[in-house]
Structure 1
Amino acid sequence: MSSLGGRTPVVAATVLAALILLSSASSANAATTIDGPIDLGTATPFAVLGASAVTNTGPSVLNGDVGLSPETSVTGFPPAVVNGTLHQTDAVAAEAQADLTTAYNVAAGLTPLQSGLGDLTGASLTPGVYSGGELALTGALTLSGTAESVWIFQAASTLTIGSGAIITLVDGASACNVFWQVGSSATIRTGAQFVGTVMADVSVTAQTAATVTGRLLARTGAVTLDTNTITAPTGCTTEPGTVRTSPTVTSAAPPSGVVGTDYSHTITASGTPSSTYTVGSGSLPPGLTLNETTGVISGQPTAPGTYTVTIVATNGTQPDATVAYEIAVAPAAISEVPAVPAPESGEAGSGDQLAESGVEPGATPLVAFLALVAGGLMIATSRARRSPSAA
């Protein structure tokens, strides 16, 4: 893995499975990314924030605000010293809890660069997202990067920092940008030297003489302290990251078309920001075009057949969504020539006139002609018999 400098994206979590649509659709799993540190919102100035209680034993020193919401039990202040403001069940603490929940969910959604981790002892980690079930540190962990580098650790269950464990930042790495999202509870044991912001779904416990350069934030449970020094990071210059989600095609497969008939179908994709759409391979049926901004396939097909086309949805966050379709186009329907109705009785050209010549109505033209010829011959023969000179 390479170092994360400036605003290089931090690879993040799978939030949507790729949707397979008609024929040989193929798309990598969508991912959510963030290109900077987690935004803590109004929870940023807190060294300690609890939900059910904040309890201290001994002369702890807290460099930052201390808050509790929604419960009211804050004990051990003094002897603890708060170099900040104590927000006990007030609107500020309530808002900080709300922002903590938002930050927790963002961190929990990120896809790790490396997963399945357990004890981090001995590791030297470059910036990225790391996950495990029960994360632990029993020895030394080194984080190497720049002042804008970001590390996000996801513990699906617990986080346990052993007695005397130490986290070291090198090459300009900053405690401002180290985050620990914990699915249940975190424990920092005696004498440990911990770095980063803990966002625990339940509770956080710091045992005797543990030091924290960061924050201990508990969403639903208590924060318990014992002669600790906790210093919330200050002077953080890196802007909070923007969350981006790679696209996944969500629309149904395009319908069939008919030659010469208007056609319209819209390709849609989830993801942030919005996607643009291009033809990756194959081709649309002749006569149809794809609007790259709206995803609308429209026009009038000009040739029948079955056409294979690959549509690619892109929003600048990898992976792109690539989906293959088969679009069938049927020939245009052939209209039947309407039959000419037979003339009504009494109309010009009807069979009644032929009847005067001895031709029955409804007779075919050939029969009528022959009947007229025969009639004429009979008349001529009769006249010849009566007039020899004419004969």
Structure 2
Amino acid sequence: MTIAVALGCVAATPHAASAENTASTARTASTTNEPNPAAALSLGAAADFAVLAGTTVAGTGSTVVTGEVGVSPGSTTAGFPPGVVAGAVYLDDPVAEQAQDDLATAYNSAALRPGTASLKPQLGGTTVAPGVYNSTSGAFYISGELTLDGQGDPNARFVFRSPSLVTSPASTVRLANGAQACNVIWQVGGSATLGAGSRFAGSVLALTSITAASGTTVNGRLLARAGTVNLDSATVTRSACAGVPLRRTSTKLGAFCDPGSPGNLALVATVTSSGPVPPVGPVEFFANGVRQDQFQSDAAGHAKLIVSNIPPRTHEFVASFAGTNRLEPSTSPVLSVPVGPEGICPAPPASPATATGPGAGTGGKPAAGNPDGRKNTRTVITFPPNDRPFKARKRDRGRHHHARPGNHRRPR
């Protein structure tokens, strides 16, 4: 996508609870060799995923997934775009394979836990306390509202086990008294179907497939071992327990001449994080205080926007990383790019310099625009490696732009 910067403005160019069914709290395991039903169930690497499938993840319409998406041993996704994934996508690679292995372990662990009680298949209209539950006959159904009562304990665990799971349209799984979606597990021996417009909480661990019908909202995870995950204009947000600290991020912005498109300026945002979490998520670009567009950063934290038709004046560019479930948001310092009457990037350089550090170019020579080799006022980002970097003006060091309503600069 190319953005045109115009004089005075910036424009984007297309591109009721049943007493009989109310359960008691979880009992203690009968022997020390049995799994403790009240203990946390680890999802391992699968915990990083909002959606995981064995063969395919298929989205239709305006599906939005916040968290990682993975497929293994299959390698297919469909419907993204127009669907949006605020996270990394792993297709039949070591990351997805490990997630599937850990999902199988978690699935079997949930199956082996001692049961607290058996519940009638229809969970709608009931209130359930923490515990491990089996269906008295066949599938679990939710019609209306199911309330999960944490009884004041934010670590309260809920595990539901049945051959299949079906929620009715507009049904709700409500979390009450400290219950958290991250501590709710639905172990399904076959497939799960979430009805249109339903509001669901917890992580589904299905042996076969999972379908989320139109308008479904999921606070948790949809993890299918062998089959597909189908999402129809659904919203899936990977749950995280309250109190889990987010990792800090830092966002920097660089401007480069695009050697393949004379006259265009490439804005490259680089997001870094304080830990091993990939800095993948939505990055918004702003020019002169006006939002331009949003792109996903890749696994290396890079997001790129091409800007063209830049009129003479000094333009101020900013990149803002919106953050994810595990990463804090961050905003780059303002990057000022002066443009004279002759325009910007009139033609590709004859011998493009590769910026390998402040003041360095190809073969150790000073980079273009820095003839005396003195240290730059900003870090030069080497992406793409053959583009010529621009340098921000010294007076702009330490200035920050906050991409929030009411805090944008007016266009000059």
Q: TM-score, normalised by structure 2?
A: 0.51
Q: Paired residue for 2:193?
A: 187
Task: Specify whether residues 62 and 11 from structure 1 end up closer, same or farther in structure 2 by C-alpha distance, changes over 3 A only.
Answer: farther
Query: Partners in 2 of 1:202 and 1:182 — Cα distance?
Result: 8
Match of 1:55 among 58, 67, 70: 58
User: Which has more helix, going by share of residues?
Assistant: 1
* Residue identity opposite 2:58 in structure 1: T
Stretches of structure 1 lacking an aligned partner (at least 5 in a row)? 15-27, 239-391
Q: CA deviation at 1:10?
A: 5.5
Q: 1:134 maps to what in 2? A: 139
Are the counterparts in 1 of residues 68 and 88 from structure 2 also a CA contact under 8 Å? yes
**Residues 1:73 and 2:76 aligned together:** yes
Which of 152, 157, 160 is the aligned partner of 2:166? 160
Q: Distance in 2 between matches of 1:84 and 1:107?
A: 27
Is the contact between residue 165 and residue 192 of structure 2 (CA under 8 Å) also seen in structure 1?
yes
* Residue deviations 1:199-239 (CA, integer Å, cap 9, x gap): 0000000000000000000000000000011011124559x
- Partner of residue 93, structure 1: 96
Residue deviations 1:253-278 (CA, integer Å, cap 9, x gap): xxxxxxxxxxxxxxxxxxxxxxxxxx
Report the equivalent of 1:214. 220
The answer to whether the 8 A contact 1:153-1:180 is kept is: yes
Q: How far has the Cα of 1:177 moved from its partner?
A: 0.2
Go from structure 1 to structure 2 and tell me whether the alpha carbon gap of 1:34 and 1:178 turns closer, same or farther (over 3 Å shift).
same
Between the aligned partners of 1:11 and 1:131, the Cα distance in structure 2 is: 17
RMSD of aligned Cα (Å): 2.2
Instruction: Report the residue type matching 2:60 in the other structure.
Output: T
Kindly indicate whether residue 112 of structure 2 is the aligned counterpart of residue 109 of structure 1.
yes
Aligned equivalents of 1:107, 1:175: Cα separation in 2: 16
Would the aligned equivalents of 2:24 and 2:130 in 1 still touch at CA under 8 Å?
Answer: yes
Q: CA deviation at 1:73?
A: 1.6
Percent identical among aligned pairs is: 41
Shift, 1:90, TM fit = 1.0
Residues 1:52 and 1:34: Cα distance change in structure 2 (over 3 Å): same
What is the alpha-carbon distance in structure 2 between the residues aligned to residue 11 and residue 207 of structure 1?
38
Distance in 2 between residues matched to 1:43 and 1:10, nearest whole Å: 27
Give the count of matched residue pairs: 219
CA shift digits 1:94-136 (9 cap, x unpaired): 0000000000000011222111530101111110011112111
1:229 aligns with 2:235: yes
Give per-residue Cα distances to partners, 1:38-71, cap 9 Å, x unaligned.
Answer: 1000011100000011111011110100000011
Q: 1:39 aligns with which of 42, 66, 75?
A: 42
Structure 2 residue runs of 5 or longer lacking an equivalent are: 1-21, 245-412
Choose 1 or 2 for highest CA Rg.
1
User: Which SS does the other structure have where 2:175 is aligned?
Assistant: strand
Aligned match for 2:158, one of 151, 162, 166: 151
C-alpha deviations, 1:320-345, integer Å up to 9, x for none? xxxxxxxxxxxxxxxxxxxxxxxxxx
Cα distance in 1 for partners of 2:123, 2:24 equals 18
Code of the residue aligned with 2:41 in structure 1: it is: I
Q: Quick one: distance in 1 between partners of 2:64 and 2:32?
A: 46
